[in-house]
Copies of this chain bind each other. A is one copy, B any other.
Amino acid sequence: MSFAIPVSGASGRRGVGRPRHSAVSSTLSPRDQVLDAAGRLFVTRGFAATSTREIAEKVGIRQASLYYHFAGKDEILAALLERTLRPTLDQVDQTLALTAEDPRPTALYLLALVDIDTLATAPHNIGLLAGVPDIVSSPAAEAYVASRNDLLNAYRDLAHTVATESGTDDLDPEDLGELVLQLVEGVIRIRARGRAITTSTARSIASSCLRLCGVGAEDLLVARSVAQERLVDFATSREGSNEITD
């Protein structure tokens, strides 16, 4: 029993089905074109403020045609969020496994770095939707919210351990975790202001996370260099699809 995968990617794109009223330009599958347009609009105008008509217009199809690909606006959102968070969550597990034997600062540094990279390269800075009332209160975002919570817990545990070791444990673990994640998500704000995220920026932010947990200058350097080694393994195991390694 294998169900057909709906030809996502640069496949057919040569006129199956009735032609559009305006010519097809993109090489993406129609479904991906919708997600792309929706993502851009949700981020710039907001979810509730974006109508299905606007999305369709950007894609170059009629409003009703959206419903061939998605059951409704909510499902577009759900697909978009899923696609956005999936890579991070997968990488989190790998990252934690990879640094299981290392000192915790190294693990925290690497987790932050991977996360920052994902946010920095996500299409349309889609991470902006993370904490928005519009989105979070939508039932379609339930899975997304739950997953983001797992991520938050990972940060909380790591950050708390690191802070305790360094004697900078004046904050409640829950609050500290929130702040570290907040710092990581700073890339979203930086991107939103139109600034580029360089490798150096990513490393600096990840370092900031350790400083926040009270890690001193020497330990920080150690964490950075060990993390860099792990990252090479990581990138290799993933066939270099990650650009963080310089």
Q: Which residues of A contact B (CB under 8 A)?
A: 42-49, 128-129, 131-135, 137, 168, 170-172, 174-175, 178-179, 181-183, 185-186, 189-190, 192-193, 195, 200-201, 204-205, 207-208, 211-212, 214
Contacts and interface: CB of A to CB of B under 8 A. Distances in A.
A154 to B, nearest CB: 16
Chain A binding surface, main DSSP class: helix
A193 B148 CA distance: 13
Number of this chain's copies in the assembly equals 2
Given A170-B207, A175-B186, A208-B212, 9 more contacts: A44-B133, A47-B49, A129-B133, A132-B133, A168-B211, A178-B186, A182-B182, A211-B211, A211-B212
Nearest to A171: B204
B128 A133 contact: yes
A214 to B, nearest CB: 7
Contacts of A174: 190, 193, 195
A183 B184 CA distance: 10
A45 B133 contact: yes
Contacts of A212: 183, 208, 211-212
